[in-house]
Chains A and B, each alone.
Chain A
């Protein structure tokens, strides 16, 4: 199913969007999040850059707001089709243009990750490009589980907000103080640590781990997670070895010309074998060959490397590596699908269904049918409610910004 065209009822217009921002957007929680629950407005909110995309794709950077009320007002006034969140700067971004270059610098931002289904086009067979379905979405569940575990267990981060990007991917906002303080080099290091798939379109085999790296706790844990899915998802549902087109792509990664041809011939005679059966053929053949060649390294590691290549997360590194990179905010409406960018509960990776995420049209219908008893919390009577609850729970886990931060916000406010 192509989510970009499935709901003809959607009309994302300034009018419907305006209603969404006024009646449904969870301003208060949103403000608490970026203000890190400080008593009054702290620098993490007031010196934060927002970028709005308004009618006709006009992109305005360096917006900033002094408090929740101003933010709410501007959202209702400008009605952005989407907006992005950037870094916290040394001064209020709206004054950026009047400052000396060099004075205006980013000082902190959440560590963010972006995983986009288009990067899985070479491994998924059900959809391509902007489309997703419940089959390929499982790659996202695997990705979220692996990245979430690494960030928590290895780096010790605890305040992780996962968000559906509205169409075909997910974002992760790591909000721990220590993560927010990382410089670009630190962000690059974590992003590199989490990237095992390397190589562009011209490399058949994209995972090549040394035997030492294969023992790394992160790799061991990631493989454990992948094993939960590989048979069912990659072989069973994706059928990556079903047709000759597909199996040739897999065989291209095999570092042994001889084996490639043997298997190709074998499968052409029995094309009806399932991907699982062919996978067994492949692994058996590789094992036999590896044993004969006394453990020629590339062959012995083949199965493990290929499982990673087919199911390990593919991160868009550019989003992560720069502190000054903007990322679409949670609770925006995706202009193509009309779906809300909703938070995903950290214990809910497997059951989260992107196709069940409410659309703008649906929400407006629901809110109009509601009793209106919950003034100021109208979302509670719509399907958005459960997602706001997830967000609320997350915001509750944040530490209040310390007093020094709040004081600083005042002194730097020139």
Chain B
């Protein structure tokens, strides 16, 4: 735990952690970007408990992203999870060195265990990347100047500092003269570029000092993403280790709560029965379904979202071809065969990469591929104008107060909570005897809504929130 140098100096773990002592320890810095793997022994019990604690934190972060409407609340939620499961005290905390080192060791080791566990599939990797990035961002925000400087230094970012008043020709009216800016190749701040939150000039992004955390997290994710790819290649060599593999598999399986495995078995739903099942569709699918009936067509995004959903509720490939052929009634058979049938077979793993796609999760619908002009896909709670959403809910039989409540939730960015509330209201209306307020789990997938609606608020026995080893989320080979 201590460097050779420190041991020679006779430092023991009970020594109070003065700056001098910490500087010569194994973990002189609080924040790490995990460039080097731990070279130390870890007991199998520690292995599992460290990893589980870190997982708790990452899940709390995911939770806070879904449930919190403002930055302050999100920060509090994450802080309490970090304090409970993965505290990291500063060098100035005056704690015994032993404790400081134990915290940092746990942070270090647990990160690498989860790296192993989450490198198995692309979807697990992206979940891990997203939430590790957010954790670093959270910690960076609370860090002191020295800590920040150290982390930035370890990332080797090629930054050029523009003091207030410098680079006037490129600032435009976007930044004020007083802003301190960093100039960096735009590839390092893609998030900011994408949201147009930085000025880009001849390939160089001008990043305000306040956005430096974004820059750091982006770079961290980029490096981690590469490391995960390397890790995934090395993973098969672990295959022999009977102690570790089950632990790793169970870790990643527990994580991804947002992956709902639909229960519909292929063949249970026929082309004829789709329309009558539409009452059990969530708003997004109802909207797609109505638009399809109205226009006899759906654009690509809509076909994917609805098509995979229908697959999830049990519409098999032969029936799907029949269903879509009938729905696109304005097309000739030839047009349909050439333009659309391939895509449907592709969704069922019969073409191209032969990947058997699973239905989109709410998260995916909300965060990726927003609808453009003429598109009907997306999440109504996210992508409808408020009055349009209100009208859609009223049309579905919600009272004025109920609709307003749901719209308000959506307006505040709680899209999934709003959708869940919509279902609760629907289910309550359906019950004959007055039941106490019905609560269901937050909707994470349109297929979960369908199953809940069919089961009157209960999920069927066979359903599970899991990404098993054989069926990683997002796709199954």
* A155 touching B196, Cβ below 8 Å: no
* A206 touching B373, Cβ below 8 Å: yes
Stretch from A12-20, A180-188, A224-232, A388-396 at the B interface: A180-188
The residue from B190, B200, B378, B380 contacting A154, defined by CB atoms under 8 A apart: B200
* B174 touching A215, Cβ below 8 Å: yes
State the CA gap A178–B186 with chains docked (Å). 11
Q: Which of chain B's residues have a CB closer than 8 A to the CB of A205?
A: 385
Q: Which of chain B's residues have a CB closer than 8 A to the CB of A188?
A: 190, 194
* B190 touching A185, Cβ below 8 Å: yes
Given contacts A200-B374, A200-B377, contact A155 B383 (CB under 8 A): no
* A318 touching B300, Cβ below 8 Å: yes
- On chain A, the number of residues with a Cβ less than 8 Å from chain B's Cβ atoms is 43
Within 8 A of B (CB), among A196-214: 197-206, 212-213
Q: Interface digits, A154-179 against B, CB 8 Å rule (1 contact, 0 not)?
A: 11110000000000000000000010
Q: Which of chain B's residues have a CB closer than 8 A to the CB of A157?
A: 203
Specify the chain A residue showing the minimal Cβ separation from B232. Answer: A102
Within 8 A of A (CB), among B200-256: 200-204
Q: Interface digits, A339-365 against B, CB 8 Å rule (1 contact, 0 not)?
A: 000000000000000000000000000
A399 on the interface (CB 8 Å rule)? no
- Closest Cβ of chain B to A163, distance in Å, is 22
Q: Which of chain B's residues have a CB closer than 8 A to the CB of A201?
A: 291, 371, 373-376
Given contacts A188-B194, A216-B174, A318-B300, contact A200 B201 (CB under 8 A): no
Stretch from A116-124, A243-251, A401-409 at the B interface: A116-124
* A155 touching B338, Cβ below 8 Å: no
Given contacts A155-B203, A205-B385, contact A217 B190 (CB under 8 A): no
State the CA gap A198–B383 with chains docked (Å). 9
A291 on the interface (CB 8 Å rule)? no
* A192 touching B174, Cβ below 8 Å: no
Specify the chain A residue showing the minimal Cβ separation from B203. Answer: A156
State the CA gap A215–B199 with chains docked (Å). 10
Specify the chain A residue showing the minimal Cβ separation from B383. Answer: A200
- Closest Cβ of chain A to B194, distance in Å, is 4
Q: Interface digits, A95-120 against B, CB 8 Å rule (1 contact, 0 not)?
A: 00000000000000000000000111
- Closest Cβ of chain A to B345, distance in Å, is 13
State the CA gap A28–B436 with chains docked (Å). 77
State the CA gap A316–B374 with chains docked (Å). 12
The residue from A155, A206, A220, A317 contacting B186, defined by CB atoms under 8 A apart: A155
* A220 touching B173, Cβ below 8 Å: yes
Given contacts A197-B373, A198-B370, A200-B377, contact A217 B388 (CB under 8 A): no
- Closest Cβ of chain A to B367, distance in Å, is 12
The residue from B193, B372, B383, B384 contacting A190, defined by CB atoms under 8 A apart: B193
Within 8 A of A (CB), among B413-438: none
The residue from B193, B199, B373 contacting A189, defined by CB atoms under 8 A apart: B193
* A220 touching B201, Cβ below 8 Å: no
Q: Which of chain A's residues have a CB closer than 8 A to the CB of B186?
A: 155, 189
Q: Which of chain B's residues have a CB closer than 8 A to the CB of A185?
A: 190
The residue from A122, A153, A198, A316 contacting B201, defined by CB atoms under 8 A apart: A153
Q: Which of chain B's residues have a CB closer than 8 A to the CB of A216?
A: 172, 174, 196, 199
B195 on the interface (CB 8 Å rule)? yes
Within 8 A of A (CB), among B147-204: 172-174, 186-187, 190-191, 193-197, 199-204
* A122 touching B373, Cβ below 8 Å: yes
The residue from B196, B342, B380 contacting A193, defined by CB atoms under 8 A apart: B196
State the CA gap A212–B174 with chains docked (Å). 7
Q: Which of chain B's residues have a CB closer than 8 A to the CB of A57?
A: 338
Q: Which of chain A's residues have a CB closer than 8 A to the CB of B204?
A: 156
State the CA gap A302–B375 with chains docked (Å). 24
* A186 touching B190, Cβ below 8 Å: yes
Specify the chain A residue showing the minimal Cβ separation from B291. Answer: A201
Q: Which of chain A's residues have a CB closer than 8 A to the CB of B173?
A: 215, 217, 220
Q: Which of chain A's residues have a CB closer than 8 A to the CB of B197?
A: 213
State the CA gap A5–B109 with chains docked (Å). 68
A94 on the interface (CB 8 Å rule)? no
Q: Which of chain A's residues have a CB closer than 8 A to the CB of B199?
A: 216-217
- Closest Cβ of chain B to A146, distance in Å, is 14
* A192 touching B195, Cβ below 8 Å: yes
Specify the chain A residue showing the minimal Cβ separation from B338. Answer: A57
State the CA gap A178–B371 with chains docked (Å). 29
- Closest Cβ of chain B to A22, distance in Å, is 27
- Closest Cβ of chain B to A99, distance in Å, is 13
- Closest Cβ of chain A to B4, distance in Å, is 42
* B201 touching A154, Cβ below 8 Å: yes
Given contacts A200-B371, A205-B385, contact A155 B200 (CB under 8 A): yes
Q: Which of chain B's residues have a CB closer than 8 A to the CB of A200?
A: 370-378, 383
- Closest Cβ of chain A to B284, distance in Å, is 11
* A317 touching B372, Cβ below 8 Å: yes
A314 on the interface (CB 8 Å rule)? yes
- Closest Cβ of chain B to A405, distance in Å, is 20
Q: Interface digits, B371-409 against A, CB 8 Å rule (1 contact, 0 not)?
A: 111111110100111001000000000000000000000
List 6 A-B pairs, minimum CB-CB distance, nearest first. A200-B371, A156-B203, A192-B194, A189-B190, A156-B202, A189-B194
Show 24 A/B contacts (Cβ-Cβ < 8 Å), sorted by A. A119-B373, A120-B373, A153-B201, A155-B200, A155-B202, A155-B203, A157-B203, A186-B187, A192-B195, A199-B370, A199-B373, A200-B372, A200-B374, A200-B378, A201-B291, A202-B384, A204-B385, A205-B385, A213-B197, A216-B172, A216-B199, A217-B173, A219-B196, A314-B373
A-B contact sample (19 more), CB < 8 A, given A186-B190, A215-B173, A220-B173: A155-B186, A155-B203, A156-B204, A185-B190, A189-B190, A197-B373, A199-B385, A200-B374, A200-B375, A200-B376, A200-B377, A201-B371, A202-B287, A202-B385, A205-B385, A215-B172, A216-B172, A218-B196, A318-B300
| Residues of B participating in the A interface, judged by any CB pair closer than 8 Å | 172-174, 186-187, 190-191, 193-197, 199-204, 287, 291, 300, 338, 342, 369-378, 380, 383-385, 388
| Residues of A participating in the B interface, judged by any CB pair closer than 8 Å | 57, 59, 118-122, 153-157, 178, 182, 185-186, 188-190, 192-193, 197-206, 212-213, 215-220, 314, 316-318
